């Protein structure tokens, strides 16, 4: 292999944060006509790849997620984003499966993105970074999977933007995906989805410290704009019922309103905290790029407008999951995916999980969701000939 700056990962290690760098002769050519080279992909693996290389699962992270799906995130010091689902004895069982999770291209946790150095200028890409798509993200992941020596993934799973990647994987590389779990996602971004993203981007770009995307070179950060973007997005991840239950009209550390623009209400204080915590760990330009990638996602458009054609003759086993109170990617979006899969005669299960936690439910401890995932993976593992210890039968 002409790649790279490191050896194969030692699969026996429980925890293996890695970065692979694809040299300039192996560029990522993007849908928008861009060229990203060199391309670094930061990833993490857990568990052990079996001798037949048949137990690898790719976990795809959501908009502002990262490669740290489980364990402690070294950047934030908090548990990984899918701690509820990934680990020994959990549905994505690290005692049974070899789990791979990488930071998306355009991200800011080690994979090449707008904060990376543009080799042609010697300065950060900023907004000169090629606008990437979900398909570009998946292409980069495929390069990583090739590098890891995995031909067929036992499963590709993810929620929200991660679910879009799952769908793209199943459409682009059907023979490499044994089973797929698109969760709380859609085959295309709706006008409302795009609208919310645009509000976030405008908030970032309206911050004087954004400096037309050149803030890195000028030693500033558009933190206020990015925090507002996060605050507005965060509302879309929760349900009205969850907000009401958690905060209602409760006041923050005071017994009466102050008749000012202080954060009188707990919900205001909560959102401000979410915004501030977010800017600590996320790059503003990355936020522009990953939200844009979602907006451009319309899987059917690549197949003559027919989503069913995207999955024609697929052998992949699907399990589509939605949550009742998710209004960002509502159940109707998941049903559209299910209808397309049915039309193609695919093996598909579909479960709508009862939850009042909104879009974020897929990241939380939802017993029914956990049971469904476990059942689906178990049956797929049986079909794939995987023993409970992850060896090939």
Partner 1 sequence: MTVTPAADAPERPAQPLEQPRLDLAVIAEMVAHGARVLDVGCGDGALLQLLAQKKGVDGRGVELSQRGVNECVAKGLSVIQGDADTDLSDYPDDGFDYVILSQTLQATRRPRAALANMLRIGRRAIISFPNFGYWRVRAQLAFSGRMPVTGRLDYHWHDTPNIHLCTIRDFVEIVDELGAHIERGVAFDRAGAPIRFSAPWWVWNLFGEQAVFLLERGGRRP
Active site amino acids: 160, 326, 359
Q: Does 309 bind partner 1 (CB under 8 A)?
A: no
Fill in the DSSP letter of residue 260. Answer: S
The angle subtended at Cα 366 by Cα 361 and Cα 367, nearest 5°, is 165
H or E stretch at 351:
strand 347-353
H or E stretch at 29:
strand 28-29
Output the smallest distance, CB 390 to partner 1, in A: 18
Sign of CA dihedral 40, 69, 299, 240: negative
Tokens of 61: 């992270």
Q: Which of 372, 384, 386, 390 binds partner 1 (CB under 8 A)?
A: 372
Q: Which of 338, 361, 363, 386 binds partner 1 (CB under 8 A)?
A: 338
Tell me which stretch binds partner 1 (CB under 8 A): 3-11, 27-35, 188-196, 377-385: 377-385
> Between the CA of residue 340 and those of 125, 198, 262, 366, what are the distances in Å?
39, 29, 49, 27
Q: Does 352 bind partner 1 (CB under 8 A)?
A: yes
Q: Which of 151, 354, 385, 392 binds partner 1 (CB under 8 A)?
A: 354
Nearer to partner 1, 117 or 364 (CB): 364
Tell me which stretch binds partner 1 (CB under 8 A): 60-68, 202-210, 227-235, 346-354: 346-354
Tell me which stretch binds partner 1 (CB under 8 A): 79-87, 290-298, 336-344, 356-364: 336-344
- Mutual angle of helices 266-281 and 223-237, in 10-degree steps: 120
Fill in the DSSP letter of residue 39. Answer: E
Output the smallest distance, CB 25 to partner 1, in A: 44
Nearer to partner 1, 172 or 349 (CB): 349
Nearer to partner 1, 178 or 278 (CB): 178
- Contact call for residues 22 and 145 (beta carbons, < 8 A): no
Q: Does 374 bind partner 1 (CB under 8 A)?
A: yes
Chain centroid, CA 266 distance in Å: 29
The Cα–Cα gap between 370 and 290 comes to 28
Residue (of 92, 95, 100) closest to 68 by Cα position: 100
Residue (of 343, 127, 327, 329) closest to 240 by Cα position: 327
Q: Which of 345, 364, 388, 389 binds partner 1 (CB under 8 A)?
A: 345
Q: Which of 152, 190, 274, 379 binds partner 1 (CB under 8 A)?
A: 379
Q: Which of 139, 189, 317, 357 binds partner 1 (CB under 8 A)?
A: 317
Fill in the DSSP letter of residue 123. Answer: S
Nearer to partner 1, 187 or 353 (CB): 353
Tell me which stretch binds partner 1 (CB under 8 A): 20-28, 83-91, 209-217, 314-322: 314-322
The Cα–Cα gap between 347 and 219 comes to 52
Residues that bind partner 1 (CB under 8 A): 317, 319-320, 338-339, 342-343, 345, 347-354, 368, 371-372, 374-376, 378-380, 382-383
């Amino acid at each position: 292999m002409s790649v790279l700056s490191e050896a194969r990962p030692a699969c026996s290690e429980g925890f293996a944060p890695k970065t692979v760098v694809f040299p300039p002769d192996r560029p990522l050519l993007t849908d928008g006509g861009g060229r990203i080279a060199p391309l670094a992909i930061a990833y993490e693996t857990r568990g052990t790849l079996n001798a037949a290389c048949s137990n690898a699962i790719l976990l795809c992270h959501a908009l502002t997620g990262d490669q740290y799906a489980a364990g402690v995130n070294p950047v934030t010091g908090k548990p990984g984003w899918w701690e509820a689902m990934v680990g020994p004895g959990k549905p994505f069982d690290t005692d049974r499966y070899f789990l791979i999770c990488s930071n998306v291209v355009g991200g800011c946790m080690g994979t090449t993105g707008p904060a990376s150095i543009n080799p042609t200028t010697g300065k950060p890409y900023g907004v000169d970074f090629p606008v990437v798509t979900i398909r570009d993200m998946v292409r980069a992941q495929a390069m990583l999977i090739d590098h890891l020596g995995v031909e067929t993934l036992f499963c590709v799973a993810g929620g929200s933007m991660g679910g879009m990647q799952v769908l793209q994987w199943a459409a682009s590389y059907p023979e490499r995906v044994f089973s797929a779990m698109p969760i709380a996602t859609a085959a295309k971004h709706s006008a409302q989805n795009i609208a919310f993203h645009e509000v976030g981007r405008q908030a970032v770009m309206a911050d004087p410290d954004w400096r037309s995307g050149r803030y890195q070179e000028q030693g500033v950060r558009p933190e206020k704009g990015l925090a507002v973007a996060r605050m507005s997005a965060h509302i879309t991840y929760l349900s009205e019922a969850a907000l009401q239950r958690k905060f209602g009209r409760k006041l923050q550390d005071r017994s009466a309103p102050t008749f000012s623009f202080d954060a009188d209400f707990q919900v205001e204080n909560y959102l401000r905290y979410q915004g501030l915590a977010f800017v600590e760990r996320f790059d503003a330009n990355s936020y522009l790029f990953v939200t844009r990638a979602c907006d451009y996602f319309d899987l059917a458009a690549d197949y003559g407008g027919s989503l069913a054609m995207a999955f024609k003759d697929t052998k992949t086993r699907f399990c589509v999951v939605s949550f009742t109170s998710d209004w960002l990617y509502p159940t109707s979006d998941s049903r559209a995916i299910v209808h397309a899969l049915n039309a193609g005669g695919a093996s598909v299960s579909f479960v709508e999980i009862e939850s009042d936690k909104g879009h974020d439910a897929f990241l939380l401890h939802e017993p029914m969701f956990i049971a469904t995932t476990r059942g689906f993976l178990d049956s797929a593992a049986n079909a794939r000939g995987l023993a409970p210890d992850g060896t090939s039968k």
